[in-house]
Structures are given as structure tokens and as C-alpha cells.
Chain A
């Protein structure tokens, strides 16, 4: 009774307020727990108990995040954790979460937020930093991720989170590398497939495996006869009047018969040839259009002028 009264009046040791915060958490009262943790931190400072102060500050911020979902709380929490060895796991006070693992988790989580709504290069870098941070967590069960994850997947284990961000990092790297080095791009995409497979993300694994297949597919251009890897980026199909004879003829000549699809009536064109043709066709169409418009304008003017004036 006296202890409760003392605590209600703000009298007592830091440890008492810390214990009270844990008791309030057990009673599903995080708001009151945050206040008690804050008081415990203030008292610990005056008592010179730096570790307890750091734990109390970090815990107060952790529950602020859990209640309000503000990522700023996490950034501040990481700073306090640097002076603590561990904190109690939310919902499992007997389980101590090592501060180093939690700092790495926060670092990874904050890096991951920078991967949204930015260009491919910045997103790749953000995913790289996130993947590295989660790798440092080891076999850590994530503490903050299960809360406020906006439907994000892989929120249980740091290992899976590491693989998930690795997958994104490699996939984004592959998309950029395709411009300069398709073979390196395919290799990066292979790593993305492996990373997504590692965290059982079968949908993304499938998407990346399909992208990998396209990156590896090599075809000879019907027009320039150059062979390129990278279906979709460096070569594609265009409609043409091809018969089964043409495909057979190519095979008999020892040429690349895969650049002809007689059934679909298509041939393979490299991106360069296709864009040259398209560019020229567009230019001709514009010239033709301009010429026609000029003629139409002249004719319209003629008609207008021939109308009887009122």
C-alpha cells in the first residue's frame, strides 16, 4: 500500500518505477507504462544508473512506437539502446532482447523505409543497407516489425527479412545492369531468385525466375544478324509474313532458326533495328501527316474563300 502510494506521489527508486511499468504492461496498459518508464529513466539519471536509464528510455520509446507507430521513436530508441545491454521483449518480459540485435533491426527498418518512392539506384542502396543490417541481427526474432508493418511480409525473423531485402537489392541491381552488362544482370537476377526462395517468397521467386529466363534468352536479329541476350530489352518480336519454309530454310543453312516463328507470323528484331525502323516510320508518318494537313488546309481555305459573302 505504502509502495503504491509512494509511486503515485512520484516517490521511489528508478527500479520501482521500472517494475511498475512492466506490471502496467502485463495489465495491457501501455500508456501508463510509458509514463512509468519515463519516470524510471529520470530517477535512474539522478541515481547515476546509466544502464537502467538507457533501458527505461528505450522501452518508453518502444511502446510509443507500438502505440502510435511513429518511426521517429525508433530512431531515438536506437540511440538509447547503444548504452544498454538488453531490454525486455514486449509481451515476454522474461525474454531479454540483446540491444545490438535490436539496434540492427531498427537500422534495417529505417533503411527499408528509404527504399520506397525513390529511383531504382537509391532503392537498391536502401535495400542493400537494410539487408546488411538484418544480417547483423543473426537468428533474432524481430521485435518492432510485427507492429505497424502495413501488410508487409517477412516480419518474424531477421534472417528472412535479410533475404527479402537481399532479393530486392539483387533484382534492382539486375534491372540496372541490363543496360551495361546483361550477363552480370542475369547473375544478379539469379541471386534475387535464390534470396526470395530462401525466405519462401514464392511469388517474387517466380517473377524473378521469369525475368532471369528473359535475360538469358539470346536471339539473332532478322535484320542485322547480330545475336543479343535479353528478351524484351535487347530483342523482341515483330509481325512479318513468314512461312514454315523460311524457318526450315534457316535451319538448313545452319542459321538461327529461333529468330522466326512461322506459327505466330513473327521474326525477332534487335532493339536497335526495331527502334531505327520505328523512328524512321514515325518520321515519315509525321511528314506525311504534315503534308496532308497542309493540303487539307489549302483546300479548306479554297472552299471558305469560294463561299458567297453575306
Chain B
């Protein structure tokens, strides 16, 4: 008989690996690298430790298989000397994962800080030590004393729970890498749990939906060319499946403590799947070049929109950007005020030292000329509430004011009242405030005015004209003048800073 084992286990998570020719392995469950030799040494050490543990519990008879002891004595020894110790070790070990059920298992395209609070990740080192307890439960030295069906059932129940915790921790850990390989490993873990069976049908449905989600992310992140239209319906279907699971887990008659907590996670996971659908649809809408993959798109877009776009709710921001891009291209009508007549006169009026030329001192080179006049659109959210139209600056992430278009503003309200095709492509400052946030800001402003019950319309994105003039003297001294709608609206330099990046995006993706 050969000494070479038929399968080898990862020394980190204990996952069974397929044998391969080379010495170097990468665990397909936790992605930890190891060598065949290292794995064998770890396994031999573990076997020796288990033997020593059994001997300590029941004496030297544990060293020789059943030790020639009759079945009823083995059953007695199991219940008095082995099972209590195994049960306590099992219960204490699971404390490392307490509360994990309420955390979504898989991150979005880029993991957020909230994901790291999952105990399966925060206490991963402790979770990984569960492999030792699993090895003990599976050991023939222990199994031989589990004579009755009931005793074997107890061992199996403990092992299933530990397997689930380790598998879920592996899945969460691997997916946190945010790569195709990471999501593939997450899928492996979920599929292994499903294959092992013994899961509650609703819990199994959740893992099945998550495995599909991991597979979707795996494909999206691996592909250099991707069709959002092909992936988005699948993302929506996964979201529906996860919401259904959450509804079932929320039922008051559910027995397991973790079910109500898992319902929280399933809802968040459903939202993430739906958000992913929005992202791939936005990818389709924004990217017009076949050589730009989804990963590049995500990386570049997040560089502009920031981590907020990758957090829960960020899909909304992608969708807004996609809407703005499409409107700029003239593919869809938009709420746009396209009057830029004021821009040049305003820049002219701001020039310094004009009088020097008039009095014949132009030769001093102190008179400012317009070096460049850039027309652009600033995004605003339009919300109808209480018979008024409200505007919220969509490009200002902090101190965003919400104000009604009343009095002298009514003309703007009228011109933004209808969606029309954009006549000329111009630069656009990328929206960084979500529609939900805009709605909240309008609601807060209404409450501050004592209007507590006003119903709000769904926010729509509107584009308002702005200009940036670069003024330069003959001596080369330069300054920039900014204005939005001839200074009727305030335009902050930090909002305009995003314009260059947006332009890069436009150039890159068109």
C-alpha cells in the first residue's frame, strides 16, 4: 500500500484539495499557498495531537483503534470522556463567529469598511483554528467510540456547523480580495457547503443565490469585454431570490436563532446584487469602446466618485452618471438649461486692467485677456415638492444646499421643466450626490420651514450651465474665474476640480 495520501488538506483552512503533480499548491477555498510537504507535516502533527488527546481522555486503549473494548463500553467512554469535551470545545470555538449572520457575506465590487466588521473576517485567525476541531471530530480515533447512531449524529451536527463557519469565513475572506479569483474561491466554498447538504432549505437557497452572485462577479471581473445587458437581468434575478429568502427567514415561526439575523444579511445582499445590476447597465451606457473592460471602468470611475460609489447605495450614483453621459451624447432627452450667452460678457467684465489700455498703458502688459473660456454643465437634482421645484447641487458632497425655485428663479424652473435633447456636447461635472441624499436634503429643508407632510417627487437630474474662464496678462500671470448661470448659483472650485477627471472619463470611454 502506498504512503501517498489520496487527498491533501490545506494546512490553513483544512479544505480538501485535488492532488496535482507539482509541489506547490494554492488552496481553492482560502487561496493560501502551501507545499505538499508542508501539508503532510501539518497533517501528521495533527494526527499525533489527536491520538495524544484521545489517550489523555480515555487512557492507552485509545491508541489501538477500538482497543479491543466492547461496543457498550466504547459508547460509555464516548459519552463520559469524549463528547462533553468535544461539545465544550465546539461551543467555545463558535463564539469567535458570534453575530456573523447579520453581515452580508459578499462585498460589492470594492469592499467597504463596513464589510471588515464581519466577525468571520475580524476573528478569522480564530475561525481558522476550527480546522483542528474538525480534524478531531473526523478522526477514526474518535469516530470508533461513537458507536450509536445518536452519537454519530452529534459528531456530524458539530462538524457541519464548523464546516459552515469555516466555509463562510473562507468565502467572505476570498471575496474581499475584490478579484475574479477571489469570487471564484467564494463560489467554491458556497458550492462545497451546498454539496455537503444538511442545510435548512431557506439557508441553502441563500447560499445558492450567493454562489450565483459570486459567479457573476467572477465573470464580470475576469472579462476584458462585458455586456452589461447580458449580466444585469441575472443580477436582478439574484436580488429577487435573496429578497425572497429574507422574507422567509423573517417569519416569526422560524426556529433557529440565526435566521432573523441572516434575514438582515440577505436583504443587504439582495441590494448589492441589484446595485451590481445598475453598475453593469451603467457600464453599457457609459463605455463605448470595446477595449475597456469592466474592471478598468470600475477603477477609473471610483477614482472620480470615491469609495461612496462602491458602498451600499453607490449603484445609484453610477446610474446618475450613466444618465448624464447619455444625455450629453444626445441619446436621451434631459432637463437642461443650455443658455451660455452670459458666459463671455461675464468673463469680459471680470478682466482686470482694461482701463490701462484705454489710457494708452497697454504696453505695461498688465491687462488681462481671456485665454480660454470653457463651457460646462453642473448637475443639479430637481425635486418637486409642495407645488414647488427644488434644486440640490449634485456635485457638492458636503454642505449641499437645497433651495426652491421661487420668485426670480421661476424662469429656471420653467426651462428645466421639460426634458429636451442636449444641442451641443460640453463638459459635465460628475454628480457625487445620490438622488436619495438629494431627496433627504429637500425633506430636511421643508421640515425646517415647518412643512412636515410634504410628498416629494423622485429626483431627476438637471444640467445647469456654468463657465470657467482662464484670464491671463501679457506677462503670463493667470487666474481662473468661475460662474454658474451668471453667478446666480454658487459654484465651488472643488466641484469644478472634478471636471478634468470627468473629461478624462469622457475621452477614455467614448
Q: Which residues of A contact B (CB under 8 A)?
A: 89-92, 95, 141, 143, 146-147, 183, 186-187, 190-191, 193-194, 197-198, 205, 209, 212-213, 216-218, 220, 227, 252-256, 258
- Shortest C-beta distance, B341 to chain A (Å), equals 38
**Besides the contacts A90-B453, A91-B453, A205-B102, what 8 more A-B pairs have beta carbons closer than 8 Å?**
A91-B451, A91-B452, A147-B452, A187-B260, A190-B260, A197-B102, A212-B99, A254-B84
How many interface residues does chain B have, given as a range? 20 to 34
- Chain A residues, Cβ within 8 Å of B452: 90-91, 146-147
Contact B57 A218, beta carbon cutoff 8 Å: no
Q: In the assembly, what is the distance between CA of A152 and CA of B138, in Å?
A: 54
Pairwise interchain contact A191-B260, C-beta atoms closer than 8 A:
yes
List CB contacts (< 8 Å) of B247-286 with chain A: 250, 252, 257-261, 263-264, 267
The residues of B that contact A205 with a CB separation of less than 8 Å are 102
What are the residues of chain B within 8 A of A193 when measuring CB–CB?
Answer: 102, 260-261, 264
- Shortest Cβ distance from A195 into B: residue: B260
Tell me the nearest residue of chain A to B94, going by C-beta.
A216
Q: Are B56 and A190 in contact (CB under 8 A)?
A: no
Say how far B129's CB is from chain A's closest CB, in angstroms.
13
> How many angstroms from the CA of A217 to the CA of B99 in the assembled complex?
12
B20 on interface, CB distance cutoff 8 Å:
no
For residue A194, which residues in chain B have a CB less than 8 angstroms away from its CB? 102, 250, 260-261, 263-264
Complex Cα spacing A263 to B258, Å: 32
Chain A residue, CB-CB nearest to B264: A197
Which A-B residue pairs are the 5 nearest by beta carbons?
A146-B452, A254-B85, A194-B260, A197-B264, A91-B453
- Tell me the B84-139 residues at the A interface (CB within 8 Å): 84-85, 88, 91-92, 95, 98-99, 102
Q: Which residues of the partner chain B approach A190 to less than 8 Å between Cβ atoms?
A: 257-261
Report B206-231 residues with CB < 8 Å from chain A CB.
none
Query: In chain A, what residue has the closest Cβ to B260?
Result: A194
> Would B454 and A209 count as touching, CB distance under 8 A?
no
B426 within 8 Å of A (CB atoms): no
Kindly list chain B residues whose C-beta atoms are within 8 Å of the C-beta of A258: 92
- Residues of chain A with a CB closer than 8 A to B260's CB: 187, 190-191, 193-194
A216 contacts which chain B residues (CB < 8 A)? 95, 98, 257
Cβ-neighbour of A213 out of B92, B99, B264, B455 (below 8 A): B99
Given A146-B453, A213-B98, does the pair A92, B386 have CB atoms closer than 8 Å? Answer: yes
List B residues 53-91 near A (Cβ within 8 Å). 53, 56-57, 81, 84-85, 88, 91
Q: List 7 A-B contacts (CB under 8 A).
A: A141-B453, A141-B455, A194-B250, A198-B267, A205-B102, A217-B95, A254-B56
* Chain A residues, Cβ within 8 Å of B257: 183, 186-187, 190, 216
B122 to chain A, nearest CB (A): 13
Cα-based distance from A267 to B102 in the complex (angstroms): 31
Using an 8 Å CB-CB cutoff, how does the interface string of B457-481 with A read, 1 for contact, 0 for none? Answer: 0000000000000000000000000
Contact with A along B170-182 (1 / 0, CB 8 A): 0000000000000
Tell me the complex Cα distance, A90–B455, Å. 10
Known: A213-B99, A254-B85, A256-B88. A198 touches B264 (CB 8 A): yes
Q: Complex formed: what's the CA distance from A194 to B454 in Å? A: 30
A160–B229 Cα distance when bound, in Å, is 34
CB distance from A65 to the nearest CB of B (A): 12
A284 to B23, CA, bound (A): 70
Taking the complex as formed, is B423 at the interface, i.e. its CB lies under 8 A from any CB of chain A? no
Residue of A nearest to B256 (CB): A187
- A143 CA to B455 CA in the complex, in Å? 11
Provide the residues of chain B in CB contact with A256, threshold 8 Å.
88, 92
> Given the known A-B contacts A187-B257, A252-B56, are A91 and B102 also in contact in the complex, defined by CB atoms under 8 Å?
no
A91 and B447 alpha carbons, distance in the complex (Å): 11
B95 CB → nearest A CB, Å: 6
CB of B455 within 8 A of CB of A92, answer yes
Give every chain A residue within 8 A of B99 (Cβ-Cβ).
209, 212-213
Of B85, B99, B258, most A-chain CB atoms within 10 Å: B99
